[in-house]
């Protein structure tokens, strides 16, 4: 149990750093940290959302679409904000 708690805390720290990287337009670094966050907590809607937005900025549209849709699945209240980004990712990835 203690290892699980530590893993969750590390995931939370990496989430915050990933968000900072995103805001600084360091999208590759954001993806790295957010991927580690999701390894610790695969149901983290914020990590899915921010990694999806990072993938979108990196023009990795299929990956963006998957993460953005997962974020909405985990937290339906995100749908209004993410719908335009999901549509953009669909269009650009050929869906």
Our separate counts of H helices and E strands in the chain read 5, 0
- pLDDT value, residue 1: 52
This prediction has a pTM of 0.93
For 52-93, write each residue's pLDDT tens digit.
999 999 999 999 999 999 999 999 999 999 999 999 999 999
Q: Average per-residue pLDDT in the chain? A: 94
Q: Which two tokens stand for residue 42?
A: 């695969």
- pLDDT value, residue 7: 81
Task: Identify whether the C-beta of residue 10 lies closer than 8 Å to the C-beta of residue 40.
Answer: yes
Task: Identify whether the C-beta of residue 44 lies closer than 8 Å to the C-beta of residue 37.
Answer: yes
**Mean pLDDT lowest among 4-18, 24-38, 70-84:** 4-18
- pLDDT value, residue 11: 87
User: How far, in Å, CA of 59 to CA of 42, rounded?
Assistant: 23
């Amino acid at each position: 149990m203690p290892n699980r708690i530590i893993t969750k805390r590390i995931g939370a720290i990496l989430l915050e750093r990933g968000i900072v990287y995103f805001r600084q337009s360091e999208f590759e670094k954001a993806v790295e940290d957010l991927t580690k966050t999701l390894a610790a907590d695969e149901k983290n809607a914020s990590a899915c959302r921010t990694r999806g937005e990072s993938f979108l900025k990196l023009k990795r549209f299929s990956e963006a679409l998957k993460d953005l849709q997962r974020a909405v699945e985990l937290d339906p209240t995100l749908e209004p904000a993410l719908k335009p980004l999901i549509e953009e990712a669909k269009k650009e990835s050929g869906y």
